[in-house]
């Protein structure tokens, strides 16, 4: 079952259960998935989750906790459709293999290592988190 079909099914269940917040989030998510029908569904989900996280931070910084909580709840709903994130140990293993594969020894080699790691990670870790891990590995190399 594709992600769009899963979201549609979950939307119907949420509507029948009267879950207003969940219905709103799923409708928005379904709309974005349908607009980007030819794009990678996981990329759309990641983008939408990232937008919610940024909005949550902005609302919290602005002292609007109730709006921030709503954005956080939507981000959690979206995250449920994404594959599980890699834990730190798995990510460190991938980074270590990429550093060994490229023979990287300094921060100048960051780009080549990042390319290999991001291809292997395939959206199961945030780019900033990957970058931090690669920088740490190259600093200790």
pLDDT surpasses 80 at 38: no
Instruction: Return the pLDDT at 128.
Output: 87
Residues 123-140: what's their mean pLDDT? 88
Q: How far apart are CA 38 and CA 31, in angstroms?
A: 13
- Does 101 lie in the same domain as 75? no
Q: Find the CATH number of the domain harbouring 52.
A: 1.10.1510.10
Residues 93 and 66 placed together within one structural domain of the fold: no
- CB of 48 closer than 8 Å to CB of 78: yes
Sign of the dihedral through C-alpha 52, 54, 57, 63: negative
Domain that holds residue 14: 3-79
Domain count of the chain? 2
Residue 93 and residue 55 share a domain: no
Average pLDDT over the chain, rounded to an integer: 91
51 and 113 share a domain? Answer: no
pTM of the model: 0.73
pLDDT higher than 90, residue 30:
yes
134-137-140-141 Cα dihedral, nearest 10 degrees: -100
Do 57 and 95 share a domain, yes or no? no
Contacts of 7 (CB under 8 A, 6+ apart): 26, 29, 30, 33, 81
Give, to the nearest 10 degrees, the angle between helix 65-79 and helix 20-35: 60
């Amino acid at each position: 079952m594709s992600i769009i079909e899963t979201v549609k099914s979950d939307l119907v269940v949420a509507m029948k259960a009267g879950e207003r917040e969940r219905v709103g989030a799923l409708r928005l998510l379904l709309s974005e998935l349908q607009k980007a029908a030819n794009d990678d569904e996981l990329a759309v989900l990641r983008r939408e989750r990232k937008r919610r996280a940024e909005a949550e931070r902005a609302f919290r910084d602005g002292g609007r906790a109730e709006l921030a909580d709503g954005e956080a709840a939507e981000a959690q709903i979206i995250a449920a459709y994404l594959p599980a994130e890699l834990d730190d140990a798995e990510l460190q293993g991938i980074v270590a293999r990429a550093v060994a594969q490229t023979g990287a020894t300094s921060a100048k080699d960051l780009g080549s290592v990042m390319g290999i790691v991001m291809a292997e990670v395939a959206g199961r870790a945030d780019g900033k988190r990957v970058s931090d891990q690669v920088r740490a590995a190259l600093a200790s190399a």
